[in-house]
Structures are given as C-alpha cells and as structure tokens.
Amino acid sequence: MVRKNPNKMKEEFYRIKMLSATSIMEMYQYTYSEDGSNKKNTEEQIVLNFNEFLIDVEGGEASYKNESKETIILTLGDVLAFLTGGDVEPPQGFDCIPKCFFNHAEPERKLEVSTCFLSITFPVHASLMTAKTFNGEFIYAMRSGFNFSKS
C-alpha cells in the first residue's frame, strides 16, 4: 500500500488535525458525581469555565505577562501541550481517551495534569467557580508546569 500510493500515505502520516476549543472540550471524558447532586452542579460549572477558557484562548483573549513584562498570548497548541505533552493531536488520535476528574476531598490543591495518563483533575474550589478566577488559576498551572516553553 505504501509503495503503491506513497503520496497518499504521506498525507495520512502527516495529517495535522485543526485544533479548536470544541475539539479540546470534546476529547475529554468527564467523570461527574451523581446526577442532581450539588457536587455535580459544581463540577458542571467548572467544566463550563474550562470551556469558556478554551474559547478565550481560541479567540486570542487569554494572555499573561512574563518576567520581562511582555504580554504572551496563549494558543490552543499551548493548552494542548500542557494537557497532553504535544501541541497537536496525533494523526491517529491519542492512545487513550483523555479523562477529567474532580477532587472534592482536597479543594486547596491546584489543578493537576498527567500527560502520561492524559488526565486533568480539577480541585473543587471557589477559585474555579468564576470564569475570571478560573482563567487565572489555569494560566498559573500552565506557567508552573515543568518546561512550559513560553514562561
């Protein structure tokens, strides 16, 4: 197949999927508390803020100031790199479904990301309950992450 259609196979191997806020939102499997519970309502608000943050990033509206006081505008590639370790989605998709968890037991913790297991765990804390404070917490976590390239 490769020898008969080298250009077609090259396209398949190097195809880069266009990132969008929606594509990142939809790649996650969310692990919610019981339907109708106050916990689930809180978790849904955090996911809504996550989605709004991704939309802000997609629109070029999420930024921070670096140590040199320069404004750095985040991209969806930056967010994906923080979440998965890669700034583009692999052509054949990820090896596992990325998962989203909520930590009610330790609300004082910061959000945690595992690029090995493709998971994100949000602490259920007041700082993630409004869009503005969520954005600040998420950007702080990104910048505090190991080797974030735009620090």
Q: 82-86, 102-106, 136-140, 142-146 — which is least confidently predicted?
A: 142-146
User: Using one digit for the tens of pLDDT, what is the confidence trace for 27-72?
Assistant: 999 999 999 999 999 999 999 999 999 999 999 999 999 889 999 9
pLDDT at 151: 38
5-35 pLDDT, tens digit each: 666 655 555 555 689 999 999 999 999 999 9
Q: Which of 27, 45, 1 is nearest to 133 (CA)?
A: 45
pTM: 0.84
Please report the pLDDT score of residue 1 as a whole number.
61
Q: Residue-wise over 94-129: b if at least 16 C-beta within 10 A, else e? A: eeeebebebeeeeeeebbebeeeebbbbbbbbeebe
- Strands 99-103 and 112-114 come out as unpaired
DSSP string of 99-120?
EEEEESS-TTSPPEEETTTTEE
Chain CA centroid to CA 113, Å:
9
Ranges of H-type helices in 5-37: 6-14, 21-27
